[in-house]
Structure 1
Amino acid sequence: GAEAAQGQKQTDNKKVLIDQKMAAKLQKAIKQYAGKEIKLKNVGEKTEVHMAAKVESVDGKYAIHFNIEGGRIWSIDEKVTIDKISKEDQAKVLKVLKGAYANKTYVYDKEVIMQRGYDGDKEKLGASLSYKLTGKDFEVYFFKENTAKMPKDAVSAFTINFTKEELDPKLLETAIEAIKTVFNHDLEVTSANLRRFTWTLEDKNVTLEIEEGKVTNVFHKTRKAVTTNKGITEKDAKEAVAPLAKELFNMD
């Protein structure tokens, strides 16, 4: 009972109520996008984006993203199938993933999220059109169309997830050594991912980031963060981090 109540409470905390004025705005936006009336849910939910929410269509095919304060709409999602993306564009995306990490097999899921930008001030469809492609262990954003001066026909961001066993031993060794030096903690990697050039490794207590073989950020979930922009190689980890560690945690 208590767990169910807790779960319900968390769900309620995520809910965003939609008044009539906002409902009309949302209805206008989805009609502009889909070219027809689409029945929307009458309650929104908060998303990971700060102070933002989305409302889905009753059939789950569409979602509209908006700012909670002021109700400015900024994009519309639609669930489509992979064949909506040309083979040429699929190959472009694959090339980026393979370029980032070659020793993995990337197979796209059939379902893709198509996202159209929306100009919330003028209340009309925007110029940007992107796709979120997912598969086992990865997600990637591909911009097909974009506003002037912004990249188009290009991958804008991606995340590739790894198990501890898949990690390069040298990378793992660098991470373990840095965490031992800074927090005197034995790193037990529970999750790892690669975003562009940045590796993020974490266990239940710590998170660290590595770029080009150097540790750039270490963070303890229950204490303060330690950051060094200089980057830490295994050799200079002690010199770079010891003063920081001493200052923050009175450690030697």
Structure 2
Amino acid sequence: PAGAAAAQEQKQADNKKVQIDQKLAAKLQKAIKIYAGKEIKLKNFSEKIEFSPSAKVDSVDGKYAIRFIIDNGKIWGIDEKVTIDKISKEDQEKILTVLKKAYANKTYAFNKEVIMQRGYDGEKEKLGANLSYTLTGKDFDVSFAKENSAKELKGTVGGFKIQFTKEELDPKLLETAVKATKTAFNHDLMVTNAQLTNGIGWMLEDKDVLVEMERGELTKVSHKTRKAVTTNKEITDKEAKDVVAPLAKELFNMD
């Protein structure tokens, strides 16, 4: 079984790989030289980016990565691993303020390593205007737009995700999710993973059930292992009214 599992993992890794032809390799090499100002050795294959039409190729030393669209080979971004001191204290405070506003009862400390992402114009073969940073810490990651062609986005926090243990969750929130899974599937939710996205969307799950909520309201309850025609049993409109409305009324005093 161990051998079979290893073979399966290898197969999954191979499925993620995207081969790079000579023409694309030359473009990638040119892009990284424009960015870094020197020759950087790149790997000879790239990997698909999950839930995206793009792939990224890493440098051999692991410091850089280039992102491109798989179908047409158009390069659109370059990543570099840098340290937190690249980001001003003022900007760090700005980011912390957003995280604390989203969920105050948690400590946020940034890891030293940061991913700096620079836009690249694959057609004109020059660096783009956009410059952003992805910062991580224990239980969270957040992106920050330092420079952006859209003026209103410059200096703002983009997307962020915060992970929670069951013990850290607001009791009301947990109670809503537990009641929803009990009503929908007669299932006792034992939260193994909880995540808040962009300050509004909650996702709580265990091995069988996934609950999604937005601004305190249930939006979806799905079952992962029901051998139904669909892979996920989603609550119908009628069930939603029967389950969600009374819960919302009871827990959040909403009509």
Same-fold call, TM cutoff 0.5: yes
What percentage of aligned pairs have identical amino acids? 68
- 5+ residue gaps, structure 2: 226-231, 250-255
Determine which of 231, 234, 237 is the counterpart of 1:225: 234
Are 2:49 and 1:47 aligned? yes
User: Against the structure 1 CA distance between its residues 210 and 233, is the aligned structure 2 distance closer, same or farther, given a 3 Å change threshold?
Assistant: farther
Q: CA deviation at 1:219?
A: 2.1
Determine which of 157, 179, 193 is the counterpart of 1:191: 193
> Quick check: 143-152 or 200-209, which moved more?
143-152
**Secondary structure class of the residue paired with 1:133:** strand
- What residue in structure 2 maps to residue 20 of structure 1? 22
Work out the CA distance in 1 between the residues paired with 2:86 and 2:236. 43
Count how many residue pairs are aligned between Structure 1 and Structure 2: 238
For residues 122-133 of structure 1, the aligned pairs below 5 Å read 122-133=124-135
| Kept after mapping to 1: 8 A contact 2:17/2:45 | yes
Determine which of 93, 98, 105 is the counterpart of 2:107: 105
- What residue in structure 1 maps to residue 149 of structure 2? 147
Deviations 1:120-164 (Å, cap 9, x if unpaired)?
232221111100000000000000000134511010111010001
User: Against the structure 1 CA distance between its residues 150 and 18, is the aligned structure 2 distance closer, same or farther, given a 3 Å change threshold?
Assistant: farther
Amino acid at match of 1:205: D
Amino acid at match of 1:2: A
**Secondary structure class of the residue paired with 2:61:** coil
Q: CA deviation at 1:104?
A: 0.7
Deviations 1:59-97 (Å, cap 9, x if unpaired)?
000000111111111111000000000000000000001
- What residue in structure 2 maps to residue 205 of structure 1? 208
- What residue in structure 2 maps to residue 160 of structure 1? 162
| Kept after mapping to 1: 8 A contact 2:163/2:193 | yes
| Kept after mapping to 1: 8 A contact 2:68/2:75 | yes
Determine which of 81, 98, 118 is the counterpart of 1:79: 81
Amino acid at match of 1:34: A
**Which runs of 4 or more aligned residues in structure 1 lie more than 6 Å from their structure 2 counterparts after TM superposition?**
227-231
Provide the TM-score with structure 2 as the length reference: 0.87
| Kept after mapping to 1: 8 A contact 2:166/2:192 | yes
Provide the TM-score with structure 1 as the length reference: 0.88
Work out the CA distance in 1 between the residues paired with 2:114 and 2:31. 21
Work out the CA distance in 2 between the residues paired with 1:70 and 1:84. 33
Work out the CA distance in 2 between the residues paired with 1:173 and 1:34. 51
Give the superposed CA RMSD. 2.0
> Quick check: 114-123 or 190-199, which moved more?
114-123
**Secondary structure class of the residue paired with 2:235:** strand
Amino acid at match of 2:167: E
- 5+ residue gaps, structure 1: 238-252
Work out the CA distance in 1 between the residues paired with 2:93 and 2:34. 31
Work out the CA distance in 1 between the residues paired with 2:177 and 2:122. 44
| Kept after mapping to 1: 8 A contact 2:63/2:81 | yes
Q: CA deviation at 1:226?
A: 3.1
- What residue in structure 2 maps to residue 9 of structure 1? 11
Determine which of 59, 68, 71 is the counterpart of 1:69: 71
Determine which of 5, 24, 31 is the counterpart of 2:33: 31
Work out the CA distance in 1 between the residues paired with 2:91 and 2:133. 11
| Kept after mapping to 2: 8 A contact 1:56/1:64 | yes
**Secondary structure class of the residue paired with 2:247:** coil
Determine which of 194, 217, 241 is the counterpart of 1:214: 217
User: Against the structure 1 CA distance between its residues 28 and 227, is the aligned structure 2 distance closer, same or farther, given a 3 Å change threshold?
Assistant: farther
